[in-house]
Structure 1
Amino acid sequence: MTTDLAVPAPAHDHLDVPAAQLRSAELEEAIRKDPGRFRVLTGDRPTGRLHLGHYFGTLHNRVRLQDMGVEVFVLIADYQVLTDRDVAERLTEYVEDLLLDYLAIGVDPERSTIFAHSAVPALNQLLLPFLSLVSTAELGRNPTVKDEIAHSSQASVSGLMFTYPVHQAADILFCKANLVPVGQDQLPHLEIARTIARRFDNRYGDGGAPVFPEPEALLSVAPLLLGTDGTKMSKSRRNAIALSASADETAKLIRGAKTDAERRITYDPVARPEVSSLVLLAALCLDRDPHEVAEEIGDRGAAALKQVVTEAVNDRLAPIRARRTEYDRDRGFVRKVLREGNRRANAIADDTLHEVRAAMKSLY
């Protein structure tokens, strides 16, 4: 696979959101023309079962890219949960839950590589030379790191959390991914990976082809879906509908969702965020415009809205849940998928580390 992009990247600041949006549109066109030129790295922390926010925010897009012919690597970022003691104690369970969710939504292990962070030693060995290419001041200025530190429930911030952007750079660059689907808030992380790729070449390159491509952002326009309590949808807040939830569990959660006192249903995310989030959820599940969905419900009120949402969600998730149940009956196959993904990732990581050591003149 070549790491050259199908469209030459323009010289602009990748932290400039409008420029990143324009570039993403160009990349989408390039993908349609020649998907084989692209290698994507994406993934999740195994902190619990995935929910509808994940599905419409990132998971659906991964399957779309895979089905278009893009080479997709899906990382289970198990090392990144080590600061959470409760999760770490149930790590095997959460990793397998994540695998089941991936397989159920359509990630195909024949076409995509699913692997665990901790199972690829050469990937993690890249962290040391990469850390030498960035300063502590640069890491401290990273807005995502600052936000993690500000909202951390820990008494102190671990070095793992502080160096998270460099870990993510190793995740992206080990397989020479040239495309990373991200939200706007993740652009600073990706810029660290781009910076490391450039600096490695400047310090160790011999004037030939660079060891690492500079990965580009494929901005995803994730829909704003609120949790059932009207706040941000989150596993930890217990306000999300898991992909693996039963139809009855889903109905119960939606019945308890927060709405407002106005009877007529409209789609107005600013003035009526809770009602609009439910309308949007139904529209996404039905592949329809949310204004049309709201207009059809009209004066029938919140009860009718919740009934429409419940039926739409359960219909959309029914085949996903059926596949998940089927895979759950064969955990041996699920573990085999991860072993094979780890094998593929290790082969690539070993080759990349050999290139890095050769460039650094450290092949002894």
Structure 2
Amino acid sequence: MTQATASTTTATSLDGGRSTESVRAARERSAVLERQIAVDPSRFRVLTGERPTGALHLGHLIATLDNRVRLQALGVEIFLVVADYQVITDRDVAGDLPAVVREVLLDYLAAGIDPEVTTIFTHSAVPALNQLLLPFLSLVTVAELERNPTVKAETAAAERRGRTGMSGLMFTYPVHQAADILFCQANLVPVGQDQLPHLEITRTVARRFNNRYAAGRPYFPEPDALVVPTPTILGNDGAKMSKSAGNALEIRAGEDETVAFVKRAKTDSERHITYEPDRRPEIANLLTIGAHFVGTTPEALAESVGAAGAGRLKRVVTEALVEGLRPLRARRAEAAAQGPEYLRAILARGNARADEIATCTLDDVRDLMRMTY
């Protein structure tokens, strides 16, 4: 893989400041990256993933999964981490991780992730990746980690759930994520604009490692952010869709559950349908969902419904969801029917490939740090 030259235009301060200029620059850089992907996708390697805290839902599909499938179809190499170690960053009990990981894997396959071309792996199966955390921690300060907005947000969320104090794993989460990205020399990370400060930790680690240990020939790429639309999908209660809130439509849900989900979704008292996310968030949410599956824009869908009102909008969204999710659920059922050994084999192949690459990277890091004895 040819390492793409990292752009400084995505740089964002570690204290979470996101000026209009920096976000605009990141979006402009992303437009350039999209053109480069179209010309030569082999230049890029993507690392992305999520914590396996439950089966994936409609919000995951719209905000992240469909974009991964798009990049996969374009020919970009993708590493997809099921970050099982990160489940215990903010909770005392991980739950039935094997069962949850199986559900997440089925959701990946349902969405269209092809394990023959995309490497799917778990944190805990790649020891060399996690060992990179130690030298990487030496490259950042406590103050920089304390200022990271994701650490702040996740800690506040944990405290709302009744947990007091911050685990060391949560505190070092941004550096662990840097190990996720850099172990495979990933040079592209799809993010929403609110995640730019988080990715900057990874860029900082790569830059400081190169300056300290590989100044003559930089070893790690400073990964670019591919800023992609990540709409916040609301549950049927009007709050952000969440596995823990009980307001989500899971990818694995059946047709009856889909119909019931839309039927219960909140709307408002205005008859005429318009797309105004700030003023009419519930209506905007239905328009976003429907437009995603119809293949249009929320504005165009709003115009087509117009004075027919929320009842008509719900019927349109229900039909779009049922038809749009039908092939996903068929793929999921087909994969599930092949049994647990089929899923274990997929993870075994992905884990083996990730472990081989991580071991080579760790060996290189030791050599560059003169720690080979």
Per the normalisation by structure 2, the TM-score is: 0.93
Larger CA deviation: 257-266 vs 78-87? 78-87
C-alpha deviation, 1:183, in angstroms: 0.9
Aligned twin of 2:51: 45
Aligned counterparts of 1:9 and 1:83: Cα–Cα separation in 2: 30
Aligned counterparts of 2:171 and 2:304: Cα–Cα separation in 1: 49
The one of 217, 220, 223 equivalent to 1:215 is 223
1:204-238 deviations in Å (ceiling 9; x for gaps): 1251x212111110001112322211111211112
SS in 2 for 1:56: helix
Aligned twin of 2:17: none
Per the normalisation by structure 1, the TM-score is: 0.96
Tell me, yes or no, if structure 1 residue 139 matches structure 2 residue 145: yes
Larger CA deviation: 328-337 vs 28-37? 328-337
Q: CA RMSD, aligned part only? A: 1.4
Tell me, yes or no, if structure 1 residue 185 matches structure 2 residue 194: yes
Tell me, yes or no, if structure 1 residue 62 matches structure 2 residue 68: yes
Instruction: Among all aligned residue pairs of Structure 1 and Structure 2, give the percentage whose two residues are the same amino acid.
Output: 59
Tell me, yes or no, if structure 1 residue 14 matches structure 2 residue 23: no
Aligned counterparts of 1:35 and 1:292: Cα–Cα separation in 2: 32
C-alpha deviation, 1:146, in angstroms: 1.3
The one of 301, 309, 326 equivalent to 2:334 is 326
SS in 2 for 1:88: coil
> Alignment length, in residue pairs?
360
1:74-101 deviations in Å (ceiling 9; x for gaps): 0000000014557612111111111000
Aligned counterparts of 2:6 and 2:175: Cα–Cα separation in 1: 23
SS in 1 for 2:9: coil
CA contact 1:74–1:115 (8 Å) conserved in 2: yes
Matching residue's letter, 1:180: V
Aligned twin of 1:200: 209
Aligned twin of 2:281: 273
SS in 2 for 1:217: strand
Larger CA deviation: 171-180 vs 329-338? 329-338
Aligned counterparts of 1:268 and 1:186: Cα–Cα separation in 2: 24
Larger CA deviation: 144-153 vs 90-99? 144-153
The one of 162, 179, 192 equivalent to 1:170 is 179
Aligned twin of 1:352: 361
Aligned twin of 1:71: 77
SS in 2 for 1:229: coil
Tell me, yes or no, if structure 1 residue 238 matches structure 2 residue 246: yes
Aligned twin of 1:2: 2
Aligned counterparts of 1:92 and 1:79: Cα–Cα separation in 2: 12
Aligned counterparts of 1:228 and 1:240: Cα–Cα separation in 2: 7
Q: 1:10 to 1:157 in 2, by over 3 A?
A: closer
Q: What 5-or-longer segments of structure 2 have no aligned partner?
A: 13-21
Aligned counterparts of 2:122 and 2:308: Cα–Cα separation in 1: 48
CA contact 2:84–2:122 (8 Å) conserved in 1: yes
CA contact 1:45–1:76 (8 Å) conserved in 2: yes
Matching residue's letter, 1:191: E
The one of 137, 140, 156 equivalent to 2:165 is 156
Q: 1:222 to 1:269 in 2, by over 3 A?
A: same
SS in 1 for 2:121: strand
CA contact 2:44–2:76 (8 Å) conserved in 1: yes
Aligned counterparts of 2:78 and 2:166: Cα–Cα separation in 1: 32
Q: What 5-or-longer segments of structure 1 have no aligned partner?
A: none
CA contact 2:52–2:100 (8 Å) conserved in 1: yes
Aligned counterparts of 1:47 and 1:54: Cα–Cα separation in 2: 13
CA contact 1:27–1:218 (8 Å) conserved in 2: yes
Aligned counterparts of 2:117 and 2:129: Cα–Cα separation in 1: 21
The one of 96, 99, 106 equivalent to 1:93 is 99
CA contact 1:38–1:71 (8 Å) conserved in 2: yes
The one of 339, 346, 363 equivalent to 1:337 is 346
Larger CA deviation: 84-93 vs 117-126? 84-93
C-alpha deviation, 1:292, in angstroms: 2.8
Matching residue's letter, 2:9: H
Matching residue's letter, 2:108: Y
CA contact 2:145–2:174 (8 Å) conserved in 1: yes
CA contact 2:10–2:224 (8 Å) conserved in 1: no
The one of 358, 365, 372 equivalent to 1:363 is 372
Aligned counterparts of 1:228 and 1:76: Cα–Cα separation in 2: 27
CA contact 1:47–1:87 (8 Å) conserved in 2: no
The one of 259, 263, 266 equivalent to 1:258 is 266
Structure 1: which 4+ aligned runs deviate by more than 6 Å? none
SS in 2 for 1:157: coil
Aligned twin of 2:15: none
Aligned twin of 1:227: 235
Matching residue's letter, 2:11: H
Q: 1:359 to 1:9 in 2, by over 3 A?
A: closer
Matching residue's letter, 2:300: E
Aligned twin of 2:310: 302
Aligned twin of 1:107: 113
1:237-269 deviations in Å (ceiling 9; x for gaps): 121211111010111111111111122222222
Matching residue's letter, 2:234: L
